[in-house]
């Protein structure tokens, strides 16, 4: 049977991808950011997942205001890196796992999560930056990837509780898959940041650290944070943190925190990173 062996949460700041692609990771500005991922790079090499399930949000590449799925599960065999306006990132094509993805789709839909199934889409920095942080710059990604795109761009996004409960349904789906494989679930986005209007550049370390603590130790409390609190305390893009709750729900009730990293700033964003292990 398939087994979830870890959870990996990280910000997906596009400038991090640029720093990797342009060999700037050792520059003084960027070195403290990437130093916090050295431990987890070794960890994931040792864990050797067969599949990573990546919860992320699309940034108007696969979807637009014409089509806004709340939860979109990729069931395709591959996903090309998207051109976000300055050319596609020089990263490998992402190869999916259609058999497991369709199994998850069937399981969660029958558990009354009405997702959108996607068989053709490109993936942007929201997915490729976390893969680069975890796996570096390989010629091919070392495992299959199943993408789950969550709408956190156009109001209303899903609640934290809905994301946490969806993660639990994903866990049930993965662990009922009748083939032996190791799965790591990624939650991406955040942490506090705002990209526009009078509060552009907002970062709130106090909110971020409290969220990290709640995510590990009291996910129900983290899931109860209302949209307005994210907006007020973590900026308009802080709502991306609900995607971490999908990952947390997939790990079960109790987890062990293996690694934590927090750095301010990277571009105009607070960078957070956790590695968790189900107990």
**Catalytic: 193?**
yes
Please tell me which residue in 12, 193, 261, 273 is annotated as part of the active site: 193
Backbone angles phi, psi at 151, to 5 degrees: -75, 110
β-pairing verdict for 144-150 and 181-188: unpaired
Whether the upstream peptide bond of residue 265 has omega within 30° of 0, thus cis, is: yes
Query: CA 94, CA 128: separation in Å to the nearest integer?
Result: 9
CB within 8 Å of 64: residues ≥ 6 apart: none
Q: Quick check: is 97 catalytic? A: no
Distances in whole angstroms, Cα of residue 109 to Cα of each of 16, 73, 218: 35, 11, 27
For residue 94, the Cα-to-chain-centroid distance in whole angstroms is 15
Element (H, E) at 257: strand 255-266
Length of the chain: 279
Task: Output the CA torsion 244→240→68→122 (10° steps).
Answer: -70
Q: For residue 261, what are the β-bridge partners?
A: 273
> Rg (Cα) of the chain, in Å, rounded?
17
Pick the catalytic residue from 12, 97, 103, 125: 125
Active-site residue set: 125, 193
């Amino acid at each position: 049977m398939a087994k979830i062996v870890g959870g990996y949460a990280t910000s997906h700041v596009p400038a991090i991808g640029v720093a990797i692609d342009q060999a700037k990771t050792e520059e003084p500005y960027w070195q403290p950011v990437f130093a916090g991922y050295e431990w987890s790079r070794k960890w994931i090499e040792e864990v050797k997942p067969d599949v990573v399930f990546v919860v992320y949000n699309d940034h108007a590449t696969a979807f637009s205001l014409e089509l806004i799925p709340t939860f979109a599960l990729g069931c395709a065999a591959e996903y090309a890196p998207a051109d976000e306006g300055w050319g596609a990132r020089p990263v490998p094509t992402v190869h999916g796992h259609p058999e497991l993805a369709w199994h998850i789709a069937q399981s969660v839909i029958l558990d009354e999560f009405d997702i959108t199934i996607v068989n053709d889409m490109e993936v942007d920095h929201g997915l490729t930056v976390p893969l680069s942080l975890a796996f570096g710059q390989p010629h091919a990604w070392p495992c299959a990837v199943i993408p789950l795109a969550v709408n956190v761009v156009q109001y209303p996004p899903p609640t934290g509780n809905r994301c946490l409960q969806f993660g639990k349904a994903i866990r049930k789906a993965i662990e009922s898959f009748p083939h032996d494989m190791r799965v790591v679930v990624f939650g991406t986005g955040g942490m506090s940041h705002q990209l526009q209007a009078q509060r552009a550049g907002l970062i709130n370390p106090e909110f971020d650290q409290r969220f990290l603590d709640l995510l590990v130790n009291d996910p129900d409390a983290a899931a109860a944070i209302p949209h307005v609190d994210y907006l007020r305390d973590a900026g308009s893009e802080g709502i991306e943190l609900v995607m971490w709750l999908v990952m947390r729900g997939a790990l079960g009730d109790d987890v062990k925190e293996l690694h934590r990293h927090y750095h301010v700033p990277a571009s105009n964003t607070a960078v957070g990173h956790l590695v968790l292990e189900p107990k």
